[in-house]
Structure 1
Amino acid sequence: MTSAEKPSAATALPQVIVADRQLIVCQGIGSLVTQIPEVELGHYATDKASLRKHLAHATGKTILILGVRLADGDLTQVLSFVRKDYPDVMVVVVAEETEFAFIRTAIKAGANSVCMMGQILTSLPRILGKLIEGHSIVPTEVLRRLTSENADALSRREHEILALLGDGLTNFQISARLGLSENTVKYYLKAIYQKLDVNSRGAAIAKYVAGHY
């Protein structure tokens, strides 16, 4: 196809970027995307730098399919800069059943849709179709679970601190990263331990890695 024959940004198919810390996961989701005629598969990203690069070069309507973690950060950090720097990008978060806490966080952080990995074959084509039409969509089973959960869910700040805890940062490093005092970090950690029903950093990290929070 010559440059004269290429569709303009206004008529081109929506481009789908797939981001996850594991390239094999990106490729698996990508193979499904290629079977959906209404969209075009774009690039894969495994870290924040490559994702920023691909988003910066994207033209026309762009949909980001995002796993719960990249190689250098989780979806909380990724959604933060995507919503700030690329507000027109539509985001679908994909998570395993054991990672439902990330789904809750994604909805609060402004994701346009979520998709459980176990249902991706049937759910993703429907979700992408709705996003192309400009509609955000949260599957009814996800909404049902979100509304039935108790009020002890972690706050956004507690989630940020838990993520940094999982990255191995000390209280001092967490306080410096978030602009908080060490005493404030200790206060948040105490609240996190209570909500997770644990009494140590190791136990809290274990629950974080497993997505049980």
Structure 2
Amino acid sequence: MNAEWKGQRHGIGIEVVPVVKENRFRVLIAERNPLVIAALGDMLSRDSRFELAESVQTGKAFLEAASTAAPQFDIAVLGWRLQDMDSGEVLAEMQRRSLHARVVIFSNDHDISILKQCVRLGVQGFCYQFDDPAILFDTLVAVAHGRICIPYMDVSKINDTPLSRLTARERELLSVLADGWTNLQIAARTGISENTVKYHLKNLYDKLDVRNRAMAVALYASEKNRGPHLSSQ
């Protein structure tokens, strides 16, 4: 906490006493819609617990801000869809780079698969844009203090990872993706065409409910550390 000094008169003397001010949480907003940024910024400015540190509209800009040696924010609010990527891709890239920024996803989509995907990728907080603003602010405070704050969902469905639905061949394919193999290398080692590799990758991404290789590898790494379900069945 910061302290300011204020004089108070007592009889003929002046007593100097400290006035304690609580530090505000510095919030970075990453959102593609400037109207949402403006509305969030206005609400944050009216709450003494927060101050707006920065606003960006792309995942690339957020990742750059989070990659600095001393990030200029305490917590980030990420809209689900940014100008250049969605926040699932941002979370996957954060895992790949071992970035540890505290993030709350602010989604305008009620699709439960988005929430499940974010939880699998290690998000600390999740809110919907149609929630009461107080819910978002309470979530920000909770996450800033190191807690996880997400909407209610069946925990067993979080643990029931899509990886358990993969065939042995698909698990093998995911494993070599995690090892950094290119499509051409996979084709050469398995004796199939590169187009066939792309076809299998598309099916793999659909099963995992991810959009690209980076997200698939991040999910694989996260789930591999959580249990034995990746072993051959």
TM-score interval, smaller chain: 0.5 to 0.7
From 24, 34, 39, give the equivalent of 2:35: 24
Counterpart of 2:101? 89
Aligned to 2:117: 105
1:1-213 aligned at under 5 Å gives the runs 12-55=23-66, 56=68, 59=71, 62-85=74-97, 87-140=99-152, 143-144=153-154, 147=156, 179-180=182-183, 181-190=194-203
Q: 1:187 to 1:92 in 2, by over 3 A?
A: same
Bigger Rg, structure 1 or 2 = 2
* Runs of 5+ unmatched residues, structure 1: 6-10, 158-176, 197-213
Offset, 1:28: 2.0
Q: Distance in 1 between matches of 2:144 and 2:87?
A: 22
- Structure 1, residues 53-83: CA drift from partner, whole Å, max 9, x if none? 4333864661111111211111122112334
Query: What amino acid sits opposite 2:53 in the alignment?
Result: G
When you count strand as a share of all residues, which structure comes out higher? 2
Structure 1 pair 64/183, CA: closer, same or farther in 2 (3 Å)? same
More helix by share: 1
Q: CA 1:54–1:182 in 2, change beyond 3 Å: closer, same or farther?
A: same
Residues 79/191 of structure 1: CA separation in 2 closer, same or farther (3 Å cut): closer
Alpha-carbon offset, residue 154 of structure 1: 8.5
CA spacing shift, 1:88–1:192, aligned 2, 3 Å: closer
Shift of 1:191: 5.7
Opposite residue 123 of structure 1, the aligned amino acid is: I
CA RMSD of aligned residues (A): 3.6
**8 Å contact from structure 1 (residues 12, 60) kept in 2:** no
TM-score after normalising by structure 2: 0.57
Moved more, 61-70 or 45-54: 45-54
Cα-to-partner distance string for 1:99-119 (whole Å, 9 max, x where unaligned): 433222111111101001111
Q: Residue type of the partner of 2:49?
A: E
Instruction: State the SS of the aligned residue for 2:32.
Output: coil
Aligned length: 164
SS for the counterpart of 1:54 is helix
Q: Secondary structure at the match of 1:71?
A: coil
CA contact (8 A) 2:29 2:56 kept: yes
Q: Distance in 1 between matches of 2:89 and 2:114?
A: 12
Q: Is the 8 A contact 1:15 1:61 kept in 2?
A: yes
Determine what percentage of the aligned residue pairs are the same residue.
Answer: 17
The equivalent of 2:221 in structure 1 is none
Residue identity in the other structure for 2:56: A
1:72/1:114 Cα in 2 relative to 1: closer, same or farther (>3 Å)? same
Deviations 1:123-142 (A, max 9, x none): 111111212322111122xx
Q: Deviations over 1:152-196 (max 9, x none)?
A: 9599x9xxxxxxxxxxxxxxxxxxx98335323312434666899
Q: Does structure 2 retain, via aligned residues, the 8 Å contact 1:20–1:45? A: yes
